[in-house]
Amino acid sequence: MIITCGEALYDVFADDDPAAGAFAIAARGVVGGSPLNVALGLARLGTPSGMFTRLSTDALGTKISAFMAANGISERYCIRTETENTTFVLIKTLPDGQPDYAIYCNGTADCSMQMGDLPELLDDDVTAIHLGSFATVIESSGLVLRALAKREAGRRFITYDPNIRAMVEPDMGRWRAMNDDILPIANLVKASDEDLSMLYPGRPIEEFAERVLSEGADLAIVTRGPKGALVASADGRMEAIAGIKVAVQDTVGAGDTFHAATLHYLSSRNALSKGVARQVDIGELGRFAVRAAALTCTRRGADLPTLAQVEAFTG
């Protein structure tokens, strides 16, 4: 089982509602959060997944729990809380399909984790731990999530995606400090070119991939939106993967789909271990993950695909 760590929230999609007046919006809420999306993608692709997070017992938290159960995502390492509410994100889709986020996470369940939430032991069936996004950089929860990854490094495959949300933490220095903290223990790092343009403006993406590998990771990946992705291995290979042109509904969850597809690919080949992941066919891995992410872009919201849907999708 692969454990993802961090946000479990509600994405609320808002559109203008002319019928209701100039100042009204129509809203639609769906379960989301980058780590939960990755867990969902893994489960739908056929790889067992679970989460380590706090879940509120409020109405939205109860719906998230039911959603996880319905999709086969384990709550074994989730902590229930009655004192904090569920994070929610207001999303306005821009004309090019890119999301414009407003995130409401002050004092919410998944962003208020404490060291006492750490599980004493992880069961033997846990093969990998994935973390990243804004819960990992926030003071309270970030310390907890990074502590788990550090404790388990060397025993589990550690994966990381910064997934920067500047509206939560605008200080890029804090995000760079998180990178510096996590990269030495990571076995797989995926970042988007948009993330890197904020973190290291003007620097080539290949430079970041080379740094990740020099820190000890097996694989470094930079996603490039419609241009595809760059996949690099610690054995010296680097390959640019072409994007797939699709009719975009929105891009919410595309990066999470890519990461889930990457982890599923590695898990299905028994490659979730240091020294083994670097030996896989990085071209095949990249093309599979790009195809999965492109399929998600044809849907509204983070509606991640099943393995059968990815295999049948031709773009």
Predicted confidence pLDDT, tens digits, the chain (315 residues): 999 999 999 988 877 665 555 566 667 788 999 999 999 999 999 999 999 999 999 999 999 999 999 999 999 999 999 999 999 988 887 777 777 888 999 999 999 999 999 999 999 999 999 999 999 999 889 999 999 999 999 999 999 999 999 999 999 999 999 999 999 999 999 999 999 999 999 999 999 999 999 999 999 999 999 999 999 999 999 999 999 999 998 888 999 999 999 999 999 999 999 999 999 999 999 999 999 999 999 998 889 999 999 999 987
Rounded Cα gap, residues 89 and 91, in angstroms = 6
Asked whether the beta carbons of 269 and 280 are under 8 A apart, the reply is: yes
- What pLDDT does residue 51 have? 98
Rounded Cα gap, residues 44 and 264, in angstroms = 10
- What pLDDT does residue 49 have? 98
Residue 196's SS3 state is helix
What element of type H or E holds 119? none
Give this prediction's pTM.
0.94
Asked whether the beta carbons of 2 and 266 are under 8 A apart, the reply is: no
Quick one: tokens of 232? 């690099």
- What pLDDT does residue 200 have? 96
- What pLDDT does residue 102 have? 87
Beta partners for residue 120, in sequence order: none
